[in-house]
Amino acid sequence: MPDTELVFTLIGPGWTARLLVEEPPPAEPKRVGFAVPAVDDDPAPLHVDADVVFTTARNLQVEPRGWPRWHVKIYRCATQGDADNLLRFLIRQTEFVQRANRALGAGNPMRPPWGVVPVQILRGDWLSQAVGGAYPTQLGEEVREMKRTAARFPSWYAPDMLAAARTLLAVSPYVDEIEWVDRYHEDPVTEHLRRFTGLAAGLDAMHRNDIAHCDIKPANVCRVTVADDSTAYVLIDVDAAIRVTPPPRFPRFTPTYSYGNLRRFAAEARHHDRKVPAGVLYAQDRFGFALVLLSALGGYHWVRGSLLYEGSGPPGRNRNADSHHLAVRELESRFPGERWERLRAVLGEAFSQQIEDPEWPTAGWVARLIAAAETPGEPGPHTDRGQEYTEDVRQVWRRAREHTQTGVELVEDGYRAAVAQAQIVARRTARRIMTTVALAITGITVVLAFGAVVLGK
C-alpha cells in the first residue's frame, strides 16, 4: 500500500501554493540548540534542542511567476512545551525578515527584492493555523485555508498526531545554492559585486530595525533570479537572528566566520555576565558579509586558508582577519599591483573596528567597492610589455619574409629570426623580462608554422 502524501495548501490574497512535501533523503538529523526567551526579551532564555532535517516541496498549483519548488526545514522537538516555545521563537525570527524585506520595497512578499528569503512557519499538525480563522503568515499574507489531504501522516513524517504536534516546518521559496570555487587569477572577479547590492541593502534594513542576522557565511548566501532576469544574492537561515535591544547575552554564530570582538565576548561570557553591544553584533554581520564577498572575488579556500586560518593566540586575535594590518597584507598578496590599490583600501575597511559603528552602511561600502573596481589605479608597467616589444615582433616578421621561400624555409628562417631577436631583447632587458619575451617571440614560430602549411599547399 503506498504511503500517504504530505500535502498542504496556502492561500493568500493574490497567491496560492499547494505543496507536496517530499521525503527527506537518508541522513542523520542535525541537532540544533536554541536560546529561546521564555517571554519576549527575557534575559534568562530557555534552552531548546531540536532535530533538524531538510527536504523540498513541489508546488502542485504553480501560478504565473510563482515558485515551482520550495525549501522545507523540519524541526522535531522532544516535548510539546519545547515545540510551543520554538514555534513562538521562529515566528518572531521570520517577522524580522518580513520587516527588513518591506523596507526594500517588496510589494509582494512572494517575489524579490529580498534581503533575506521569506519564511513561513507551520506547526506540524496544522491545528494552530485553524484556531481563530485567518492566520498571518510571515510571507506577509493571510492564510485563508490550510488543510491536509489525507487522514493520516506519511510514515517518514510522524507516527501520530502527538508527534506531529511536536514538529515544526519552515517553508520558503526555493533559491539556488552558490558553488563557491577556487580562483587562481590575480585579478578579483569584480563582476560579482553588483549582485551583492540588494543583500547589503537588506542587511542595513535589518540593522535599522534593531535586528542582527549573526550567522552570515557562504553556506547561508544563495542566488535568486529577480524581475529583470538578472541574478542577485540573498540570505537564508534566520534561526540565529536576534534583537540587539536590549543587549543579548547568548548570540548564536558559526565560530569560523565570527568577528574577533564577538569571539572575545563569547570567551569572556563563560566567566562574566556580559551583554553584547549592538555595534559588535552589527559588526558580526558586516564581517561575515565581507568574507562572503571576498569568497566570490578571490576564492572560497583562499579566504579560509589565509584570512581565517587559526594560529596560536587567544580567540579573536589569532587570525589574519582579526587584524586590519594583517588582513590588508593578505589582500595585497592576493590582488597585487597598483591597479587594485583603491579596491584593496575599501576592502580593508571591513577588517577594522569602524564596522562597529551602528551607522556604518554596508550598502555604501559595496557602492564604494563598485566605484573602486570601475576606476582602478594606474596599471603597473608589466601591463604594457606587449607594446614595448611590438617593434621586436615586426623585426622577426621582416627577417623571416626577406626572401621568397618554400614553406619549410619560412619556418627555418622564422625560427632563426626569433632566436636572434630574443638575444637582442635579452641584452636590453632584465632576466625576468627576457623569459616572458622569449616565450612570446618563440610563439611566433607557431604562426609561421601555420603559414608554412598554407604556403606549402
pTM recorded for the entire structure: 0.75
Q: What backbone torsions phi and psi does residue 260 show, to the nearest 5 degrees?
A: -55, -45
Predicted confidence at residue 133, as pLDDT, reads 39
pLDDT above 60: residue 205: yes
Q: Give the integer Cα–Cα distance in Å for 321 and 255.
A: 13
Choose from 54-58, 242-246, 444-448 the range with maximum mean pLDDT.
54-58
Give the burial class of 155: count Cβ atoms within 10 A of its Cβ; 0-12 exposed, 13-18 middle, 19 or more buried: exposed
Low-confidence winner among 22-31, 288-297, 435-444 (lowest mean pLDDT): 435-444
The residue among 385 and 24 whose pLDDT is bigger is 24
pLDDT in tens, 194-203: 999 989 999 9
pLDDT band at 274 (very low <50, low <70, confident <90, very high): confident
The residue among 146 and 231 whose pLDDT is bigger is 231
pLDDT in tens, 276-322: 899 999 999 999 999 999 999 999 999 999 999 987 566 667 899 99
DSSP string, 210-237: TEE----SGGGEEEEE-TTS-EEEEE--
Is residue 251 within 8 A of residue 281, CB to CB? The reply is yes
Q: What are the distances in angstroms from CA 224 to CA 177, 221, 421?
A: 9, 10, 54
Domain ranges of the chain: 1-174, 177-379, 383-456
Q: Give the integer Cα–Cα distance in Å for 60 and 156.
A: 21
pLDDT above 60: residue 452: no
pLDDT in tens, 321-347: 999 999 999 999 999 999 999 999 999
Predicted confidence at residue 327, as pLDDT, reads 95
The residue among 264 and 216 whose pLDDT is bigger is 216
**Domain 177-379 in CATH 1.10.510.10:** yes
